[in-house]
Amino acid sequence: MIPDPIRLISDAATRTGEAAMGLAGKERLRLAVTGLSRAGKTVFLTSLVANLVAAGQGRRTLPALEATSGRLQRARAIPPGVEATPRFDAEAHLAALAADPPQWPARTEDLSTVSLSLTLRRRGVYGQVLPDREVTLDLLDYPGEWLLDLPMFAQDFGAWSDETLARIATGLRAAPAAEFLAFANALPANAPAEDSLARRGHQLYRRFLLTARDELGLRFLQPGRFLNPGPSGDAPILWFFPLPATIRNSPLGGLLARRHEAYLRDQRDRFLDPVFRRFDRQVVLVDVLGALHAGREAFEDTAEALSAISATLRYGRGWVDLLTGAGISRVAFAATKADHVPEVSRDSLASLLADLVDAPRRRAEIAGAGVSVHPVASIRCTQEATAMHEGRPAPAVRGVLLENGRWATVDPGLVPARRPPESFWNAAYFQMPVFRPPGLGRDGHGGVPHIGLDSLLSALIGDAL
């Protein structure tokens, strides 16, 4: 995304001021936590905050990060000021995890932010002669559905409609989209600009999107606020839908095009600019297992969505990026829910993710960004176990089921290290149960059990700490 001149000047001024603060030992690091819906962003941020705060109190919750950063003396959440964006309530999320019985944090419905103040003792001889460093770590949470709006900024209403209608008319999407497509194709060429038509089309299209997400496991679904409207609810700005080319010159086509344009303008102001401008580092969370278990088309749909999103982001550190701070210098791809497979399968899980995001990885590497891939469980809720498979012991995981509170041993089977062959998809799809999170003492102030969070943070921000 190329900034306009006004934004470039504003960003350059901000970066110049921050550079001066850095020379004084007060630095700012912005971490964009991105991912499609249900990838685990809220849980990731909750665990990150809890474990950094605990590490600042002397607990070894993030050993791999300790090995690559300065010595963390203190970590605390910065009290809110006069920000317009809601605050990410890590304390409430930790309280839910520490409840009896423990509960997963609620799904994200709007933007929220939190900043941590990190006090670090400098490494080596510098720690003996220079004062401690103060680093502000900015984090943001948002509904994952909104991420798929990013590719829409490069399209007008006609281009978006053509691409969307072509996508939903085939494959898994065709059946749940049939009622909407029949409605859209039956509209007259001179369809009037009536809200009864606009709302009916919007409702049918939104019903299709919800079915595609909740029942089919698909992720490349636009616009994001049709699935998660946020606190504004079902506002008139959302009452549009993809329209066939034969109807776009009608009064209805003009109305929908204006709403499409207004929607993108609103999303730029509310979401794009606050989230994706001036971030230094990025973590991309991917529910690889969920995509794998949903079937071949859902798996490929996830890969297409990630590729489309990455094409809209700026990686590397060219001269414009250094001036504006718009480039992302390091990106980490994380396969979440790594605790849902036994330890012997986690390298394969990371390898499968690397293959799934091959195009985004290459794009970031060519631009000069550092790239890493990790298996991660932000909050570990299983333990290693053994199950019998065809009369033989096999590695498995064991945890408490969320639905009934009973222990269960689960053998998820082998995780392929590359995109599976066609024969893989002929087998019955595996439905992974939802495990209960572990009970936490003292509202999680002693840290949260995890897998690989410290290694990810070491690769992503260790050099800056």
pLDDT digits (tens, 9 = 90+) for 394-430: 899 999 999 999 999 998 888 999 999 888 888 766 7
Which residues fall within 8 angstroms of residue 292, CB to CB, at 6 or more apart? 299, 352, 415, 416, 420
Checking if the pLDDT of 7 tops 50, the result is no
Mean pLDDT of the region 324-345:
87
Checking if the pLDDT of 14 tops 60, the result is no
**What average pLDDT does the chain have?**
87
Report the share of the chain in percent with pLDDT over 70. Answer: 89
Checking if the pLDDT of 346 tops 60, the result is yes
Instruction: Provide the pLDDT for residue 423.
Output: 85
Whole-number Å distance between alpha carbons of 362 and 358:
6
Checking if the pLDDT of 368 tops 80, the result is yes
Report yes or no: 291 and 299 within 8 Å, Cβ to Cβ: yes
Is pLDDT larger for residue 314 or for residue 393? 393
pLDDT digits (tens, 9 = 90+) for 103-131: 998 888 888 889 999 999 887 666 666 78
Instruction: Provide the pLDDT for residue 128.
Output: 64
Phi, psi of 347 (to 5 degrees): -65, -40
Instruction: Provide the pLDDT for residue 124.
Output: 67
Checking if the pLDDT of 97 tops 70, the result is yes
Domain 5-104+109-142+277-381+440-464 class in CATH: alpha beta
Confidence of residue 234 (pLDDT cuts 50, 70, 90): confident
Mean pLDDT of the region 6-22:
43
Domain boundaries, the chain: 5-104+109-142+277-381+440-464, 155-270, 384-426
Which residues fall within 8 angstroms of residue 386, CB to CB, at 6 or more apart? 393, 394, 395, 396, 409
Mean pLDDT of the region 265-285:
83
Instruction: Provide the pLDDT for residue 12.
Output: 42
Checking if the pLDDT of 275 tops 60, the result is yes
Residue 367: strand pairing partners: none
Q: What is the DSSP letter of 215?
A: T
Whole-number Å distance between alpha carbons of 288 and 33:
17
User: How far apart, in Å, are the Cα atoms of 387 and each of 92, 345, 377, 392, 396?
Assistant: 36, 15, 21, 8, 6
pLDDT digits (tens, 9 = 90+) for 348-358: 999 999 999 99
Whole-number Å distance between alpha carbons of 392 and 130:
60
- Total residue length of the chain: 465
Rounded to 5 degrees, what angle do the CA atoms 106, 109, 113 make?
Answer: 90
Residue 135: strand pairing partners: 27, 118
Confidence of residue 448 (pLDDT cuts 50, 70, 90): very high
Checking if the pLDDT of 64 tops 90, the result is yes
Instruction: Provide the pLDDT for residue 429.
Output: 65
Q: Among 89-98, 219-228, 274-283, 375-384, which stretch is predicted with the lowest mean pLDDT? A: 274-283
Residue 96: strand pairing partners: none
